[in-house]
Structure 1
Amino acid sequence: MVYLDDGTTTDEADDGPEVANEFGFTKATGQIRMMALKIRELIDTKFEIFDRKAGEKRPVTYSDMTVLVPTKNQNLDVLDVFREMDIPIVVNGAESYFQTTEISVMMSLLQVIDNPHQDIPLAAVLRSPLYNVDENGLALIRTQAMTEDFYTAVQALANNALTIAVAGVSETKVNETIAAVQRFLVDLERFRALAVQNQIVDLLWQIYNTTGWLDYVGGLPSGPQRQANLHALYERAAAYQKSSFVGLYQFINYVTQLQSQDKDLGEADANVASDSVSLMTIHHSKGLEFPIVFVLNSTRRMISQRETMGDILLDAEAGAGMDYIDLDHHLKLPTPQREFVKQARVRGAFAEQLRVLYVALTRAEQHLFMVGAYDSVKALWDKWSLAEAGTEWMLPEWARLEGKSFMDLMGMALMRHPKAPELASVLTAYDDKDVIDFGEIRTKAPKQPFNFGLEIVNGADLRALVDAYQAMPLSEATSEKTGATPDGIVNDWRSVLQFDYQFDEATRATAYQSVSEIKRLFEDPDLAAGRGLVDGRIQADEFAGLRFTDETLPEPTFMQEAETRISSAAIGTATHLVMQRVDLSAGAPSQADLRALVADLVDQELIEDKVAHLISLSKIERFFTNSPLGKQMVAHADSLQREVQFSLLLDADRLYKDFQGSEKVLIHGIIDGYFQVDDEVWLFDYKTDRVTPETAAETLTQRYSGQLNVYAQALVAMGKPMPRRFIYAFSAEKIIALD
């Protein structure tokens, strides 16, 4: 399978960026599209293969097919095309996810945030597009603190004058490097401040926003897939954050263990079906066999030019070779020794690639597809026509060495097959140079007969095939579903557009409510006096979602952070925390005990120091020593439960008017506490609202009785008896019984 790309490149290394032609294909994406169309054709036509286990023929499935690639460079392109054409695919080889540029850079940055005194991750981050410090810049940094770690050198360059200048590094480059490391240190300080809060998700998103990394990778080849990889890292961090392990170090250690065990964050995709095409490298496929194999990018140059470059060439057998330098005439001349070593290295690399080709060819049990791209039929025939040099079974060495790719070698071999001239019509269809001529090629009949064919398309034809495929499913699906006249189709559309869903209210009803949002529904009936008997449930509204909300809006952040004013909510939260943490095992706490507890909470940064001074420790002490509720709490400390989280399922029609169906709504809340007194359960809730002793009972009962009724229902659902309910008003130092 050959894709013809009217480009200008021939045998150059194809690892660099490619430019799409007028039809939207590069050499890489053109052959991938061609392969994807073939896979869909095999599936749609129910192409048959022989099932060894069943001992009979059956239609092919996706899992029968495997795509082998020489390197992982095209994996992202393959994933993009296959997903667009709705072909399920799974990538085998766990290291592919972590070795993508976008993920490896992020993991290096997370390692630096956790501990900046790590030279390799730090150098990787600075060298990356995030800060774009080149090798000269890294050398400049290193010279500023030769005996210290690299982070110390970074700080030295950012904060002090140059200690050592580097020859060849211009003043402009010095200034650019200093600016880059200063920006890095500012970012690092911000990231580390966020990391200590153990919010990995927030940290990742802050990195994406601050550095623009998510947007940057979106502009690279296969940008959407690279962005999806970063989103996957974010989502996995969110899932990890919900586990019992917290902290950036733990997350990095978790990822490191995955890598060491050949696992991958990207492999656990719930949407990947078991019936999927496999994508793996040729090396990874050793020892495996598959019914159908596609060898992708088989026109990739086998031997890298790096094998023959460098001032000195070394080979284990041939020794060392170097050019001759004529200082008098300023000439650099090749030497016989260097050419000898060069040829030895080429032959060694060529032999290794032949072994790789053998592995690829022998993975297929029944059908093998070689997929590649040439610039033109002439470029193809220039290689394949070297078959005319062979008179024996083995082509001469010089002809084999002229083959630069797997497909070059395969083409030379197949052109000697007796049926090869039958391919002339396929080749001449795109032969605008009239180069195809089988007259000089001597055929050789194979010892074991086999069949082969040739498919060639250029950019225009491939675009037509892709457009035809994309247009096909809609028309076919429409005709298959309706099986009727156009009038029937129109009628079907009308029935869909005019469909009246029976449970319309459920589409706008929330599945979750907090206790504070629904407390009004659970007030005692006599509290409605003066307001009239009103159904408090939400009325279905055509334009609004069905959800209870708080009557008051949260305090804006700028008011919360005001230095001159501490909100009553902050004081109330701190008071609740003290009541939650106070130790009652030794009896009622003294003020000294409470002061020590508050100091400890301040040290743990759970309470701000400016808020701690506003907590009324004397009132807390009097609650435990003077109030009957506090005394009972101390006396029954062994059964005391505080800050009890609960979830409760309520019928939706208890919250929403005219609700149809039997759905439930999840109610979630936190009970301040309860304890056992003989056969009774006492439920209590602290309130720090500013009320007077005279108005406390009426005001707090009206505000919070519904909330405590929900708490009581939750305890009953836990298997407890109906509890006695108490509100304690700290400002008025008064107990309010709701029995």
Structure 2
Amino acid sequence: EFIEKLLEHDKDWAPAEPETSAQNAVRIMSVHKSKGLEFPVVFLAELNNKFNKKDSTDDCLFDEDDTFGLKIVEPNLKVKLSSIAHQVIAEEKIKTTLAEEMRVLYVAMTRARERLIITGSKEKQKCQKLVTANRQDLRNWQLKDCQCHFDWMLCGLADQSKLQSALDIETDAGCNNSELFSANVVSRARLDEMSLSLLQGEPPSPDDTQRTAGGDAKEILAKIKDSLNWRYAFADLTCMSTKTSVSQLTHREDEFAGAVYADALKRMPEAVERQNQGKVSASQRGTATHLVIQNLDLSRAVSIESIQTVIAKLVSDGAIPEAVAGRIDASAIERFFASELGKLCFAKSNTVLREWPFTIGIDAKELGAASNGENVIVQGIVDMIIQTPAGLIVIDFKTDNITAKAAPDRADRYRGQMDHYVRAAGSILGEKVAGAYLYFLLPETAVSTENPA
């Protein structure tokens, strides 16, 4: 309906006009700000300002095709000369600049509905010379030689008898005499006189001052105070991301986790890394271990041989570097699947989900916000979920290099992460969570976390 109304009234997508535009007021704005607006009377002042052609005069010029032209220094005369490439690029840049300036002039002139007043300052002799040279046929090269918008106006109106008469140029028989156009030349003395009268203008009377300080001024002051004292009702949420990741990028397959920039400046180039392939970080080892567990065939018992087969295939596929593959503890993986927790993966009544991605919405207040009714999107990937008749078993693998005694304390760091995993698994799969475990592979220790479900 809104678009139909626009078409019905023949309006464009102009920005809304402020309240003052409907009043009997004078508005001062740039040409770009006036785009889309219209006014009964428009003044275009100081059209004599020269075009900015600086980008065509630099010593080194580039064009959109990545070609560059240089100014050459003549060693004997010690002067700069433009190379052919420099001249060609400069010519194109001037054409682009003039085309844009012409579009700006068009926008400025079409803002007026009833009356357009154009002003400019230029020596009378130069104006006479420009009009005389262009009152017959106007060529493109002549427009190109113009230095400002005012020159273009003189060239465009050079065949008008009113402009010729105003500049004291003898008119010829081929002149046009448009009734929609008039020209006036103001002398320097008259300009000085008008400027002086403006500078010596009388101050407002006391009555005007008191009227200004009346009810209208108080109302405006109250509005200003309200605006300055306004506070955004959800300011606390502006410091919180609308989407976050549960995982801390513990494995490569977590597509939702943000990039880790820790020690980014210490990382070596790939060519140098190839020479230091014997050095494997804990993060690389952990990522590779998760990838092996994800690709194991659980339709049969897991053995050292089956684990080594998976590792060899991942290396051949380029998923794991050879140096990292040598640091994977295959025996620790085997011992997990031999544990009571790991044996649940082979029960026929159970279903195993590995690298299970999820997306849930959590009340922002649970993440520290004070505002009500706002949700934060939380995304992540759970290492393993075992669906059993008694409920879901949520498992997250850790490759931290710790002892069994230190495992419970280390598990406290991950309890918040596990709470989100449990919540997501229970709500999305629609089943209760029977248990949640952090399994530390190196000490072969499973730590049960609190189950909020």
Q: TM-score scaled to structure 2, two decimals?
A: 0.54
Q: 1:577 aligns with which of 287, 291, 294?
A: 291
The yes-or-no answer on 1:413 pairing with 2:155 is no
Cα distance, 1:618–1:558 mapped onto 2, change above 3 Å: farther
The yes-or-no answer on 1:646 pairing with 2:358 is yes
The yes-or-no answer on 1:614 pairing with 2:324 is no
Cα distance, 1:46–1:673 mapped onto 2, change above 3 Å: farther
Q: 1:442 aligns with which of 159, 172, 179?
A: 172
AA of the residue aligned to 1:645:
P
Matched-pair contact (CA < 8 Å) for 1:589–1:621: yes
1:633 CA displacement: 2.8
Cα distance, 1:558–1:680 mapped onto 2, change above 3 Å: same
AA of the residue aligned to 1:414:
Q
Distance in 2 between residues matched to 1:402 and 1:627, nearest whole Å = 88
Matched-pair contact (CA < 8 Å) for 1:643–1:670: yes
Q: 1:661 aligns with which of 372, 375, 387?
A: 372
Matched-pair contact (CA < 8 Å) for 2:426–2:432: yes
AA of the residue aligned to 1:630:
G
Q: 1:717 aligns with which of 398, 422, 427?
A: 427
Distance in 2 between residues matched to 1:516 and 1:692, nearest whole Å = 23
Distance in 1 between residues matched to 2:238 and 2:351, nearest whole Å = 43
Cα distance, 1:592–1:558 mapped onto 2, change above 3 Å: farther
Deviations 1:615-672 (A, max 9, x none): 1112223434x23443443567995433233333222333338x24332333333211
More helix by share: 1
Corresponding residue of 2:198: none
Matched-pair contact (CA < 8 Å) for 2:41–2:114: no
Distance in 2 between residues matched to 1:679 and 1:451, nearest whole Å = 91
Matched-pair contact (CA < 8 Å) for 1:726–1:737: yes
**SS class of match (1:643):** strand
The yes-or-no answer on 1:404 pairing with 2:150 is no
Deviations 1:20-61 (A, max 9, x none): xxxxxxxxxxxxxx995599499463469xxxxxxxxxxxxx
Matched-pair contact (CA < 8 Å) for 2:157–2:163: no
1:613 CA displacement: 1.5
Distance in 2 between residues matched to 1:441 and 1:409, nearest whole Å = 15
Cα distance, 1:567–1:386 mapped onto 2, change above 3 Å: closer
Distance in 1 between residues matched to 2:368 and 2:32, nearest whole Å = 55
Q: 1:452 aligns with which of 181, 186, 202?
A: 181
1:584 CA displacement: 1.6
AA of the residue aligned to 2:180:
N
Distance in 2 between residues matched to 1:731 and 1:39, nearest whole Å = 67
Matched-pair contact (CA < 8 Å) for 1:727–1:736: yes
The yes-or-no answer on 1:688 pairing with 2:435 is no
Corresponding residue of 1:587: 300
5 Å matches for 1:56-205? Answer: 101=62, 104-105=65-66, 124=67, 127=68
**SS class of match (1:689):** coil
**SS class of match (1:381):** helix
Cα distance, 1:371–1:576 mapped onto 2, change above 3 Å: farther
Percent sequence identity over matched residues?
22
The yes-or-no answer on 1:515 pairing with 2:246 is yes
Q: 1:733 aligns with which of 434, 444, 452?
A: 444
Deviations 1:324-381 (A, max 9, x none): xxxxxxxxxxxxxxxxxxxxxxxxxxxxxxxxxxxxxxx9xx9999999996432331
1:387 CA displacement: 8.1
Matched-pair contact (CA < 8 Å) for 2:41–2:116: no
Cα distance, 1:372–1:499 mapped onto 2, change above 3 Å: closer
AA of the residue aligned to 2:168:
D
Cα distance, 1:559–1:615 mapped onto 2, change above 3 Å: farther
Matched-pair contact (CA < 8 Å) for 1:595–1:617: yes
5 Å matches for 1:185-584? Answer: 294=106, 376-385=123-132, 404-405=142-143, 410-415=156-161, 419-420=162-163, 424=166, 436-438=167-169, 440-443=170-173, 451-454=180-183, 489-499=220-230, 505-506=236-237, 508=239, 511-515=242-246, 556=263, 566-580=280-294, 582-584=295-297
Cα distance, 1:40–1:506 mapped onto 2, change above 3 Å: closer
Distance in 1 between residues matched to 2:422 and 2:245, nearest whole Å = 15
1:706 CA displacement: 3.6
Distance in 1 between residues matched to 2:33 and 2:238, nearest whole Å = 41
1:488 CA displacement: 5.2
- Larger relative contact order (CA 8 Å, sep ≥ 6): 1
1:731 CA displacement: 1.3
**SS class of match (1:413):** coil
The yes-or-no answer on 1:45 pairing with 2:73 is no
1:414 CA displacement: 1.9
Cα distance, 1:37–1:690 mapped onto 2, change above 3 Å: closer
Any stretches of 5+ residues in structure 2 without a counterpart? 1-27, 43-51, 73-92, 144-151, 192-212, 249-259
Cα distance, 1:650–1:403 mapped onto 2, change above 3 Å: closer
Distance in 2 between residues matched to 1:655 and 1:402, nearest whole Å = 66
Any stretches of 5+ residues in structure 1 without a counterpart? 1-33, 49-72, 78-99, 106-123, 136-220, 223-278, 286-291, 297-362, 389-394, 425-435, 462-481, 518-552
The yes-or-no answer on 1:598 pairing with 2:311 is yes
Distance in 2 between residues matched to 1:618 and 1:570, nearest whole Å = 18
AA of the residue aligned to 2:426:
V
Matched-pair contact (CA < 8 Å) for 2:134–2:155: no
1:686 CA displacement: 0.8
**SS class of match (1:662):** coil
1:382 CA displacement: 1.7
Question: Which protein has the larger Cα radius of gyration, Structure 1 or Structure 2?
Answer: 2
Distance in 2 between residues matched to 1:445 and 1:705, nearest whole Å = 90
Distance in 1 between residues matched to 2:363 and 2:344, nearest whole Å = 36
Corresponding residue of 2:336: 623
1:674 CA displacement: 1.8
1:495 CA displacement: 4.3
AA of the residue aligned to 2:361:
L
Q: TM-score scaled to structure 1, two decimals?
A: 0.36
Matched-pair contact (CA < 8 Å) for 1:684–1:727: yes
Cα distance, 1:595–1:371 mapped onto 2, change above 3 Å: farther
Deviations 1:524-577 (A, max 9, x none): xxxxxxxxxxxxxxxxxxxxxxxxxxxxx9964588779686443432222122
Distance in 2 between residues matched to 1:402 and 1:674, nearest whole Å = 76
Matched-pair contact (CA < 8 Å) for 2:363–2:373: yes
1:713 CA displacement: 0.9
**SS class of match (2:387):** strand
Corresponding residue of 1:673: 384
Aligned-pair RMSD on alpha carbons?
5.8
Distance in 2 between residues matched to 1:499 and 1:45, nearest whole Å = 34
**SS class of match (2:142):** coil
Distance in 1 between residues matched to 2:332 and 2:345, nearest whole Å = 16
AA of the residue aligned to 2:159:
A
Matched-pair contact (CA < 8 Å) for 2:160–2:175: no
